[in-house]
Amino acid sequence: MRIRTLVAIGAGLAMLSVASYAHAVKPEDNQATREKGKQIYDQACLFCHGAEGKGDGPAGWFIGRYSAPRPRDFTTGEYKLRTTASGDAPTDQDLFKTVTNGIPGFMPSFDGLHVEDRWAVIAYIKSFSDVFQQAPAPPLPIGFPSIPPSPESLTIGGTLYRSLECSTCHGPGGVGDGPLAETGDLRDGIGLRIAAADLTSRASYKNGSSPRDIYRTLITGMDGTPMPSYAGQFVGKEEQLWHVVNYILSLSPEVRP
């Protein structure tokens, strides 16, 4: 237990160190930075997201011909993966995380790009939408402390999962076969059919599969999809959200040797 704790602390410190380093080398968002970002964008992003950032690059047709997800249309200013409230623009760090980590199954990681180059392309991407000219929205807080996944917690979480009608989309067992998913009634923001995430496979969690990631997804929602924010339903009841998190993770138990 002590070793695991030390490893967890070490990993946390490493993540903080990486985040601090990323901010330390973030260039000023000016014309020169955006021009550099455009050069990188044209080489690495245009093929999917299009020359004008509308998600209409030549690869977009093959990624999602008649169904979602399609490459992100940056001109709308609407993003799924955020730490901010539903309807708000993502933070710069949110964009940096997505560019760095990619999106499992859809967007590759660009961790190989130098940190300054990643920030430059983010500056250019932000120029596609006026939403980033507004005052930046703060990240939503994560309720602490988390609750251990005890049998009691899983029972409470399962009850909340059903009462929140999560099974309508994700199905009773979380495999993405809820009635709305089966009938094809789930649509994204531009009307394309979209599949419900298979919660039994952590590889399908686009916003991350750690307890903190899932908690965040529940309170932010995923704009442009049928996945709503549940922040307003758990004001002052953050511990209940951790029960839901525990239940969702129980649907995809990690395989250990």
The 10s digit of each residue's pLDDT in 92-115 is 999 999 999 999 888 999 999 999
Considering only CA atoms, which of 8, 20, 7 is closest in space to residue 93? 20
What's the gap between Cα 114 and its chain centre? 22
CATH number of 151-250: 1.10.760.10
For every residue of 90-112, DSSP letters joined together read PPHHHHHHHHHH-BTTTB---TT
What digits encode the pLDDT tens for the residues 72-86? Answer: 999 999 999 999 999
Give the global pTM: 0.85
Q: Which two tokens stand for residue 221?
A: 């929602």
49 compared with 257, residue with greater pLDDT: 49
Considering only CA atoms, which of 231, 223, 219, 230 is closest in space to residue 194? 223
CATH 1.10.760.10 residue window(s) in the chain? 30-133, 151-250
Q: Which residue has the tokens 């991407």?
A: 125
Q: Which residue has the tokens 């560019």?
A: 99
CATH number of 30-133: 1.10.760.10
pLDDT at 235 over 70: yes
120 compared with 256, residue with greater pLDDT: 120
What digits encode the pLDDT tens for the residues 9-39? Answer: 444 444 444 455 566 578 899 999 999 999 9
Task: Determine how many CB atoms are found less than 10 A away from the CB of residue 22.
Answer: 18
Mean pLDDT taken over the chain: 88
Find out whether 173 and 179 touch, Cβ atoms under 8 Å.
no
Distance CA 48, CA 61 (A): 9
pLDDT reported for residue 106: 87
Helix orientation angle between 115-126 and 2-24, rounded to the nearest 10 degrees: 60
Distance CA 201, CA 251 (A): 8
